[in-house]
Amino acid sequence: MRPGTGSSRGRHAWLAGRITVLVAIVVAGTLAVVHYANIGQALASNPDPSAAITATVDPTITLAPVSHSSAPALTPAAAMSSTAPASASVSQSPSPSPSSPSPHSSSSPPPPAAPSPPPAEPSPPPSTTPIHFRTLPPGAVLPTGAECAHWVRESPEREIRPGNQRANHTIGRHVGAHFFAGDTPPANQRIAPRINGDFTGTTEEILRWAACKWGINQQVVFAQAAAESWWRQGLLGDRGTDGSACPPGRKPTRKHPQCAQSYGILQNRYSSEKSAWPGLSDSTAMSADTAYAIWRACYDGDETWLNTLQHVGRYHRGDLWGCVGRWFTGRWHTPPAQQYIAKVQTYLHERIWLTKRFRDHAAPAPVILPNPGGSLRPA
């Protein structure tokens, strides 16, 4: 007969089995308690899990701890932004090799970060270099006086001739439709209506304005104005006893038997430019405007009358220096004209207007050259 539970031997076996099961349960429970207690202690010592993340996620980014109470949720758009959040600083260390294992490897790699756009280049500062006005060819379309005034005033120049102050701020006048007596008709049609002396500024600005308006190299203008007057608008020249060559109110008298016949920064001859009076004397801009209008008429080929007077070689258009010499003598490449051209070219080569002696107003002793005509044109 098989032993049953009712027997003494069966009861002992049943009790031993139950005790063994209980001991195993107690041991397993104890081990579980110890394990989870260690986990809790680790969490308690680091309340912010994000602070435990190191640069091993991306060696180029170091994350600072983020306050969960204030940090906004990261949206998908923000996650793809090329701009790092305020809590991240980007170093210049090289990116990890593509073959390096990622601590977050998965079956589908994370999308690549959007490339950072190149930094925007700063806008260049406004140019302070003055425009250099150069000689325009014969017959060229010339800029207007207003355009030249705008360009000149973009780069202001200081005044080095305070004595010109009043004349520099006096504008001129129109000269009429018959200013160019003896020239070809186009001179009175194209050039005369543009003469008005309508500009104010410093002495250098006025000379640059005239150079721009009539298409002649501004440095030639600087040098010629130095040769004529040392940039002094109030200079009186070409004195003589012929009252008909002098303007009204400035005729010879018994006390002053001679009168000035030339006026202004370019020494314009009154007898040849009567319709420009009194602007030639009162306005620096008018003196320069009229002088280089006459130069342009010569340069464009409108002064064929020069071939009817004493001349060396035939007058022709496009001769810059021939027209500079003509201003002084009223003749074409004659010896006095060549002497005057040489003087202007010397000042141009020296850039006399930049020298200390020029800017200190130290005018040289006048050199008297034979001048048979000045800016004269045949009547």
Query: What is the mean pLDDT of the segment spanning 39-66?
Result: 40
Q: Are 294 and 375 in contact (CB under 8 A)?
A: yes
Average pLDDT of every residue of the chain: 77
- Asked whether the predicted pLDDT for residue 370 surpasses 80, the reply is no
| CA dist list (Å): 25 to 13, 14, 33, 39 | 19, 17, 12, 22
Torsion sign, CA atoms 68, 72, 76, 79: negative
**Residue 88 host element (H or E):** strand 88-90
**Residue 236 host element (H or E):** strand 236-240
pLDDT at 372: 45
Q: d(Cα 259, Cα 264) in Å, to the nearest integer?
A: 15
Helices (H), the chain: 8-45, 76-79, 145-153, 165-168, 185-186, 203-214, 218-229, 279-282, 284-299, 320-329, 335-350, 356-359
pLDDT at 25: 75
Residue 12 or 90, more confident? 12
pTM confidence score: 0.64
Mean pLDDT is highest, among 13-17, 105-109, 353-357, for 353-357
Percent of the chain with pLDDT over 90: 54
Query: Per-residue pLDDT tens for 241-264?
Result: 888 889 988 888 888 889 999 999
Query: Per-residue pLDDT tens for 329-353?
Result: 999 999 999 999 999 999 999 999 9
Residue 309 or 61, more confident? 309
Task: Indicate the residue type of 103.
Answer: P
Q: Are 328 and 336 in contact (CB under 8 A)?
A: yes
pLDDT at 252: 87
* Torsion-angle region of 41 (φ positive above 0: left; ψ -120 to 50: alpha; else: beta): alpha
Q: d(Cα 305, Cα 180) in Å, to the nearest integer?
A: 11
- Asked whether the predicted pLDDT for residue 221 surpasses 90, the reply is yes
pLDDT at 147: 97
Query: Per-residue pLDDT tens for 145-200?
Result: 999 999 999 999 999 999 999 999 999 999 988 999 899 999 999 999 999 999 99
pLDDT band for 373, please (50, 70, 90 cuts): very low
φ, ψ at 148 (rounded to 5°) = -65, -40
Q: d(Cα 276, Cα 296) in Å, to the nearest integer?
A: 17
Q: d(Cα 341, Cα 333) in Å, to the nearest integer?
A: 9
Task: Indicate the residue type of 48.
Answer: D
φ, ψ at 213 (rounded to 5°) = -65, -35
Query: What is the mean pLDDT of the segment spanning 358-372?
Result: 61
Q: Are 287 and 266 in contact (CB under 8 A)?
A: yes
Lowest mean pLDDT among 28-32, 87-91, 224-228, 253-257: 87-91
pLDDT at 65: 40
- Asked whether the predicted pLDDT for residue 230 surpasses 80, the reply is yes
pLDDT at 261: 93
- Asked whether the predicted pLDDT for residue 105 surpasses 50, the reply is no
Query: Per-residue pLDDT tens for 272-284?
Result: 999 999 999 999 9
Query: Per-residue pLDDT tens for 64-91?
Result: 343 433 444 333 333 333 333 333 333 3
Query: Per-residue pLDDT tens for 310-335?
Result: 999 999 999 999 999 999 999 999 99
Q: d(Cα 229, Cα 220) in Å, to the nearest integer?
A: 14
The position carrying tokens 């003598």 is 329
pLDDT band for 109, please (50, 70, 90 cuts): low
pLDDT at 124: 41
pLDDT at 115: 56
